[in-house]
A and B are shown apart, each in its own frame.
Chain A
Amino acid sequence: MSQFTEYKDLIQEGDIALIWISRGNIKAVTIDSKETFNTRYGSFQHSDMIGKPYGSQIAIRTRGTGRFAFIHVLQPTPELWTLSLPHRTQIVYTPDSSYIMQRMNCSPHTRVIEAGTGSGSFSHAFARTVQQLYTYEFHPVRYEQAKEEFKKHGILDENVIITHRDVCEDGFTIKPTDTTSAQFSEEEITSGMKQLNATAVFLDLPAPWDAIHHLDKVIATDEQVHVCCFSPCIEQVDKTIESLENNGWTQIEMVEIQGRQYESRRQMVRSMEDAMQRCRDIKRRKKEGIEKKQSLIEREENNNTTSTNTEHTQREPFTEKAKFNPFGKGIRVKEGDPGYKWKQVTKIESEIKSHTSYLTFAIKLVDKTRNETLVQECLNETK
């Protein structure tokens, strides 16, 4: 059973879990009752997690300070995995990957080719949804790492086949002699290759035009096939379009996806009336201060004529403590402090991904014929 394709209720020994420490700090761990998970806030025993439902908050008091610290234990999903994974390469993020999957109509009927595997982020998202994923990686170390990871995550046994291959040089066919995770049936051994019949192709390669012409051997011929080429530069797009046109792909369209995240914040509502009132207050206090001082001086001058005691003249004039301070000036006010009025606002992330890659889509339909006898039978049935 794969952690990535089945919903689990409880955290169990041997599970791969994602530990959420904070946004941007999510760690994958294998649950082992003898282990502890250490953070700078304290240590969390795996044994405290085992048996609890996924999503549980695990709380501790740290030994030194006695502070309350906690983490959340989550079951991995492809999207959470994307946020936590070890980057072997630049990865395809969720705004791009989700659009690509939707546009290529990915469903339990789709057989996908992905080249290259890279960090395997998109592979996990494909594997969740599609019937079969064929992924190719030309870098030998990354191939091994990805294969191990897919195995550990249980998706290699389900619907993922990874092959070590430079697809630009050697195309996409998978033969029994290749370095691949594929298992071959008797029939496939006799025919010397796997029948891929891919219905969707994702090419994340520096030179997709060197790979496009190899696709004809491995794509389905009796139904529409979608392709998406993922390239950061416009010059690559131009060459990709040329290659797609020359190889019979149609409905070519390039798009760009812009994903944005917003922070929910609050801004203090500071009314004009309060601002004016505050000015009046300052003015009044200033005036009163001067008046008080003056009256004091006057009184003391009067007193001076009757008394020689000058102690009183040294005293500071009395000031009232409660200033009119509607905006909390001079105090540290926490955003959202219930003593003040707030307006809910959004703020865009301080750094946004302004460009990931251009997505060039196209469609190919190889066999545009129909089975006349079958059609006749169907028509006869409808009288």
Chain B
Amino acid sequence: MSRSMLPSYTRSVAVIAAIGLCLGFAFSNARLDTYSALLPLFEWMETTSLGVIGKTWGAVFATVEAVHLLAMAVLGGSVLVSDGRLLCLIFNDVPQRQVQDACHRLFVWSLLLSISTGVFMACGVAIKVYYLNVFWYKMLALMVGVVFVFFVRQPLLRHDIDRLNPWVLRMVAVASLMIWFSVAATGRWIGFSG
């Protein structure tokens, strides 16, 4: 019984284990130790050529910021359409598979662009963001979002979507909207803090 049950619920067990590890990390000294250990990395980031360019040329920094915003706009659009379809709010006459595949391709490209521009921006103001709580909340939300998309959402949507429980799809869509809204909103708040 136990031998046959465990392999069939590998992903669920892995998700529970990951949540347990995250909670353990958050409520132990490991979090503070990691935070302290990351300071040299952020100090180094400011000394890299990306950091120097970001600090020296305001126009370059602002342009990259705008590209970051545009990439986030495309990411937002793809998330809205994809989750809107899962919630049966949009494109109900277009097969789920077509909408989800097209949205995911766009999502991956926009995510790559927003992460690469985000790294440049973080290099320019590394020490400032290191001491901002909201920056870490954003990083946490981003990591959760990426893990959620690639290890939970996509594996789910690779199955025959029409045979999946519609309530599970709705839950996934709502969670996806929540997490990407949080990524965008906390990202905007970084600009106001510090």
A binds B: no
Residues of A at the B interface (CB closer than 8 Å) are: none
Residues of B at the A interface (CB closer than 8 Å) are: none
